[in-house]
Amino acid sequence: MPPRADWQRRCEDVGFSFHSLGGRYWEETVCYVFSSEEIDILEAAAEELQRLCLEACEQIVRNGRYRELAIPTAFSEYVGESWKRRDPSIFGRFDLAWDGKGPPKLLEYNADTPTALVEASVAQWFWLEDRKRLESAASDAIGESADQFNSLHEKLIERWRKMNGALGPKTLYFACVREHEEDFCNTHYLRDTAVQGGLATQFIFIEDIGWSADAACFVDLEGNAIEALFKLYPWEWLARERFGPRILEEPRSWIEPPWKMLLSNKAVLAILWELFPEHPNLLPCYFDAAPLAGADYVRKPILAREGSNISLRRNAGALMTGGTYGKEGYVFQKYAPLDTAFRETEKGGSLMSDFIASVGGVDDFLVYFLMALALVAVFLTVYTWVTPYREIALIRQGNAAAALSLSGALLGFVIPLASAIAHSVAWWDMLLWGAVALVVQLLSYFAVRMIVPTLSRDIPEGKVAQGLFLGTISLAIGILNAASMTY
């Protein structure tokens, strides 16, 4: 269907200014049309999944499984107490895969910082009303009786009304990061619904929140205590900020509450499958890929944002998205193909093809691979310069002791380097841990020299036992180093 002639202005009029984020974000040339029965199925699935998630929270807290969710140890008790109090929550967003035939399947749950609020409630409603004025039921799929299937706007206002009683006279601050238009618009939309729900509110950027040592509390720019805070900012970031530990010192009302850390990660997908195996709304998901051998699956970082560092492994090959996440580990979820009915656009392009083209991850592969090769070259140069003999020349002469010692050292460096690549948050993080691996190998060499004082003579003389010992120690230290880098 053709877009509205003035669709950009119409979106901006309702506060949806980021409609062209990334070049093309809002798409109104196609739409889904659901029957009331199909909406009932989706709503029932969402309610059931919420029930499962709350049961999973209870099991996680009861059994102290915080570490599996990458929750910092210092915050474990804090999160658990928040759950036991049942601190109130406003919202969450289930991302589902559904072909209109079988049961909807949970892809993931954004339980802490779900966005898409402006477009899913206000912008979509006004689009529908405009379409109904432009069309008749006879000429297109959208008729006068068509309605928006969600009541998100009304439910948010009602939820805030209930929250008003819990907060009492406190002013609720709304916060997001500066210079992020999407977060800014979503935060202000939520603030507007809170005002309609009767709450007293203020806005502040995350960067402007301060800590008062005298009052022992977080404060705004005027020094007023922040007693209640809605933050469109992930708990996993907040807990690791410089002033994150201060959160544990001062009670305050948080929205979303701390217990949402139990759900705002991909590890909960594996725990859900463990607790409710074969549930029709869940996909098989595990902490390692072995149970999915032979099947198509998706590898997801336990903590990540907006589809970063996801790998799709299929028989035909693999696709991956770029990003800086993954150091906390991954889960492996069975692949659920998305409905193909929504792929074609009015220009004849394929949304799936655009996705595949954009997530090939070739740029990240080249950066990491070329930097890794450079680090290997640096290691060989430094290591052979530090040792009092020239391994390469000795190897060319057929010296087995030199070959064994250098091979062990090289493997002892490359194994932790590979671990650094897999778990680093960025290229500079890989460089840092690559440097650590190099230093550790040099220290291993000097340690062996202390154990075998004649090593400097033994290697050039081709004494295999000494070369094998040095190579084995280097390799063993490298393996331990790699395991320690999984942090």
pLDDT the model gives residue 354:
36
Contacts of 306 (CB under 8 A, 6+ apart): none
Domains in the chain: boundaries? 7-262, 283-358, 363-484
Contacts of 121 (CB under 8 A, 6+ apart): 150, 152, 153, 156, 189
Q: Per-residue pLDDT averaged across 272-288, rounded?
A: 96
Q: What is the rounded (10 degree) CA torsion for 399, 401, 403, 406?
A: -140
For the cut 80, the answer to whether the pLDDT of residue 341 exceeds it is no
Q: For residue 318, what pLDDT band results from cuts at 50, 70 and 90? A: low
Q: Per-residue pLDDT averaged across 338-361, rounded?
A: 42
For the cut 60, the answer to whether the pLDDT of residue 5 exceeds it is yes
Longest dimension (CA), the chain: 94
For the cut 60, the answer to whether the pLDDT of residue 347 exceeds it is no
Lowest mean pLDDT: which of 124-128, 221-225, 358-362, 470-474? 358-362
pLDDT the model gives residue 300:
93
Q: Per-residue pLDDT averaged across 448-455, rounded?
A: 93
pLDDT the model gives residue 424:
59
Query: Which residue has tokens 């869940």?
Result: 282
pLDDT the model gives residue 359:
40
Q: For residue 138, what pLDDT band results from cuts at 50, 70 and 90? A: very low
pLDDT in tens, 241-275: 888 899 998 777 899 999 999 999 999 999 999 99
Q: For residue 346, what pLDDT band results from cuts at 50, 70 and 90? A: very low
| Cβ atoms within 10 Å, residue 376 | 16
pLDDT the model gives residue 433:
87
pLDDT the model gives residue 32:
84
Give the start-end residues of each E strand in 74-178: 93-97, 105-110, 172-176
For the cut 80, the answer to whether the pLDDT of residue 87 exceeds it is yes
Q: Which pair of tokens denotes residue 282?
A: 């869940």
For the cut 70, the answer to whether the pLDDT of residue 152 exceeds it is yes
Most trustworthy range by pLDDT among 93-102, 245-254, 428-437: 93-102
Contacts of 345 (CB under 8 A, 6+ apart): 27, 29, 30, 351
Q: Per-residue pLDDT averaged across 196-202, rounded?
A: 94
Lowest mean pLDDT: which of 222-236, 358-372, 400-414? 358-372
Q: For residue 419, what pLDDT band results from cuts at 50, 70 and 90? A: confident
- Specify the pairing of strand 330-334 against strand 285-286: antiparallel
- With beta carbons less than 8 A apart as the criterion, state whether 268 and 56 touch: yes
pTM assigned to the model? 0.70
Of residues 340 and 487, more confidently modeled: 340
Of 238, 217, 237, which Cα lies nearest the Cα of 170?
A: 217
Q: Per-residue pLDDT averaged across 186-207, rounded?
A: 95
pLDDT in tens, 352-379: 333 333 344 445 677 778 889 999 999 9
Q: For residue 316, what pLDDT band results from cuts at 50, 70 and 90? A: low
Q: In this structure, what DSSP letter does residue 19 have? A: T
pLDDT the model gives residue 302:
93
**DSSP structure string for 248-296:** GTS--EEES-GGGGGTSSSHHHHHHHHHSTT-TT---EESSSGGGTTS-
**DSSP structure string for 346-393:** TTS-BHHHHHHHH---HHHHHHHHHHHHHHHHHHHHHHHHHSSS-HHH
| Mean pLDDT of the residues in the chain | 87
Lowest mean pLDDT: which of 28-32, 48-52, 377-381? 28-32
Phi and psi at residue 457, in whole multiples of 5°? -95, -35
pLDDT the model gives residue 237:
93
**Could you give the 3-state DSSP secondary structure of residue 306?**
coil
For the cut 70, the answer to whether the pLDDT of residue 443 exceeds it is yes
Phi and psi at residue 136, in whole multiples of 5°? -115, 160
For the cut 50, the answer to whether the pLDDT of residue 317 exceeds it is yes
Task: Report how far residue 225's alpha carbon sits from residue 219's, in angstroms, rounded to the nearest whole number.
Answer: 4
Of residues 483 and 393, more confidently modeled: 393
| Cβ atoms within 10 Å, residue 141 | 12
Contacts of 248 (CB under 8 A, 6+ apart): 74, 75, 78
pLDDT the model gives residue 476:
95
